Structure 1
Amino acid sequence: MAGEKILVVEDERIVARDIEKRLKKLGYVVPASVASGEDAIQKVAELRPELVLMDIRLKGQMDGVEAAEKIRSDFDTPVVYLTAYADEVTLQRAKATEPFGYIVKPFDERDLHVAIEVALRRQLSETAIRVALEKEKELSELKSRFWSMAAHEIKGPMTSILGCAQLLEQEGHNLTEERRREFLYIIQQSVRSMDQLLNDLLAIGRVEGGSLKFKPAPLDLEKFCRSLVEEIQFSTGLSHPIRFSSRGHCENVCLDQKLLRHILTNLILNAVKYSPEGSPVYLNLDCIAGQVTLEVRDSGIGIPPDAQKHLFEPFHRASNVGKIPGTGLGLTMVKRCLDLHSGEITVESEVGVGTTFVVKLLDPHPMDSFMERSLSG
């Protein structure tokens, strides 16, 4: 593991130079050598070395043990002690700082090398374990939040279904036909809401579990987008006209149709959901020089600036959505699919004006597509 930066803290200059010479011979980098604990702390903050070789007895008011404790707590930098002699009290103080090694002077080059390598590997191991534990904690918290929110989102529609069913059973003979239809409509909408939630959960689960993979294939993207727009328009009704436009050669690009369907469906449905009735939603497609750009634009409620930073986090919803139903999983799914597709997404939004999402995807085989278009044309 040669090449790591090692700070030498030694108050005897001749000894310090000898240690520097040995370290450089072993392939390590010595960015500085200091003689006091105060200087050691300053240099660690400035240089961020991978390891500190620390003499216990130093010049100044702070000895090596105090300096090591400060360095460990503030910078998490491993320390190996160097000393010729220390009384029992000092040794116990040194042990309490949890050093990564302890070398007694005089020492040979091999002892120094072994102590440094053991310390560096221990630091790598501890860092990896700490990162793994932090990720496990984050995952546990995310799962807890995930299922708590899922249960909350399912409970609402179920309560509506149960309430309407009970009223139809108990008061059905006294209700007008119009009132009965209202209750049936609420039941249908609640079932659709639950179905959408379960579909989102299953889709996210497939992505996280690795079963949803990137499988590009030649695709007539313009035809695909027109068909998808017609499908969504049919399901949402005519209250929000979806207007599609296309530029460039989009007839034979190499993309993953399944991932693209997830991306566009979520973006268009969100645009419809958060726009006032009657306002159009726009899907614009550009295919230029091997890059596909898809723009979904609406004139809806917009996204507050503070919410834009968390758009793609699971279950996150902006503060201005009010009672508009949703799970906060749609954009999470969009981001996961784009990551698989090595694509990128940007958003421009203003509250009360509207939102524009821009998706950029690279055609993995633009020249092949160009050749095929040329041959066919």
Structure 2
Amino acid sequence: LNRLETAFETQNNFISNASHELRTPLTIISGELELAINTKQDAGKQHTALTKIKDETDRLEQILTSLLGLAQSGFNGKNQPWELVRVDEILWEVIEAVNLVHPENKIEVDLSKLPDDENHLVIRAIKNLVKLAISNIVSNACKYSNNNVVTVLIECNQNIVSVAVTDRGIGIPQSDIQHIFEPFYRASNTNEFKGYGVGLPLSLNIIRLHRGSIGIKSQVGVGTEIKVMIPINS
């Protein structure tokens, strides 16, 4: 009964948070449209209002895309293509993509613990989903460290390949860590950073789909390490 009550509470919280996140840009869009309609003679104000509408529409699209990804990652994966892929190859693709979006970042890859046997880097995966999961984590590390150096370490222990992403950023308060994988939850010290609180929950869903797990260690003012662990294909 307690588990059922917890499930209902989690669902209610998710719906409440999702409604709030969707309502905010819609409210702004509605207000700016009204402003644009009422300022027909002022081209400058109209342009400003329309630009704001465009920004909020893009924001709404990002939220909906994230929500869709969050929902899809909760499926059993039976209808999606699974293949054998190397984790290091996925990582290089992630870094290339992050560099295109955030060219000012500083990502360093530590290959000192790569396994001698290349087979220990191979996992059975839905490649695009794993790429998305790791990309969310690397992007967050760059963002919340104000583009200080982010280190990515790949290693393999006891048939588990791991990718550890370590930043030197703002860190996560201990009281927030237990909630950090809840949809739409944002740490109390992230108000200055743009975000929706969907990336990490999405990453966790994806990694769990691959029979893996995510670990996190953090200290405020020092930085955060998030480690993705996935069983190798054996």
The letter for the 2-side match of 1:197 is I
- Whether contact under 8 Å (2:90, 2:131) holds in the other structure is no
The letter for the 2-side match of 1:281 is V
Q: In structure 1, what is the equivalent of residue 167 of structure 2?
A: 298
In structure 2, distance between residues paired with 1:285 and 1:238: 22
In structure 1, distance between residues paired with 2:211 and 2:16: 31
By relative contact order (CA 8 Å, sep 6+), the higher-ranking structure is: 2
Q: In structure 2, what is the equivalent of residue 262 of structure 1?
A: 132
CA shift in 2, pair 1:188/1:265, >3 Å: farther
Q: In structure 1, what is the equivalent of residue 6 of structure 2?
A: 138
SS of corresponding position for 2:161: strand
In structure 1, distance between residues paired with 2:180 and 2:201: 8
Matches within 5 A, 1:12-91: none
SS of corresponding position for 2:62: helix
Do residues 153 (structure 1) and 15 (structure 2) align? no
SS of corresponding position for 1:322: coil
- Give the alignment partner of residue 280 of structure 1, picking from 149, 162, 165: 149
CA shift in 2, pair 1:194/1:273, >3 Å: farther
Deviation of 1:285 (Å): 2.3
Q: In structure 1, what is the equivalent of residue 76 of structure 2?
A: 210
Give the TM-score taking structure 1 as reference length. Answer: 0.53
The letter for the 2-side match of 1:308 is I
Do residues 271 (structure 1) and 141 (structure 2) align? yes
SS of corresponding position for 1:319: coil
Question: Structure 1, residues 35-93: CA drift from partner, whole Å, max 9, x if none?
Answer: xxxxxxxxxxxxxxxxxxxxxxxxxxxxxxxxxxxxxxxxxxxxxxxxxxxxxxxxxxx
Deviation of 1:233 (Å): 2.2
Do residues 349 (structure 1) and 218 (structure 2) align? yes
The letter for the 2-side match of 1:242 is I
Deviation of 1:253 (Å): 0.8
SS of corresponding position for 1:318: coil
The letter for the 2-side match of 1:306 is S
Number of aligned residue pairs: give it. 229
Matches within 5 A, 1:215-254: 216-235=82-101, 237-246=102-111, 247-248=114-115, 250=118, 253-254=122-123
CA shift in 2, pair 1:204/1:162, >3 Å: same
CA shift in 2, pair 1:339/1:194, >3 Å: same
In structure 2, distance between residues paired with 1:261 and 1:355: 20
Structure 1 stretches of 5 or more lacking a match? 1-130, 366-377
Pick which of 255-264 and 184-193 moved more. Answer: 184-193
The letter for the 1-side match of 2:135 is T
Deviation of 1:320 (Å): 1.3
CA shift in 2, pair 1:225/1:209, >3 Å: closer
Give the TM-score taking structure 2 as reference length. Answer: 0.80
Q: In structure 2, what is the equivalent of residue 102 of structure 1?
A: none
- Whether contact under 8 Å (1:214, 1:341) holds in the other structure is no
Deviation of 1:212 (Å): 6.5
The letter for the 1-side match of 2:145 is S
| Alignment RMSD | 3.1
Structure 2 stretches of 5 or more lacking a match? none
CA shift in 2, pair 1:254/1:327, >3 Å: same
Larger radius of gyration: 1
- Give the alignment partner of residue 193 of structure 1, picking from 35, 48, 59: 59
Deviation of 1:267 (Å): 0.9
- Whether contact under 8 Å (1:304, 1:351) holds in the other structure is yes
Q: In structure 2, what is the equivalent of residue 333 of structure 1?
A: 202
Deviation of 1:363 (Å): 0.5
Do residues 314 (structure 1) and 183 (structure 2) align? yes
Percent identical residues: 27
- Whether contact under 8 Å (1:250, 1:287) holds in the other structure is no
In structure 1, distance between residues paired with 2:78 and 2:59: 23
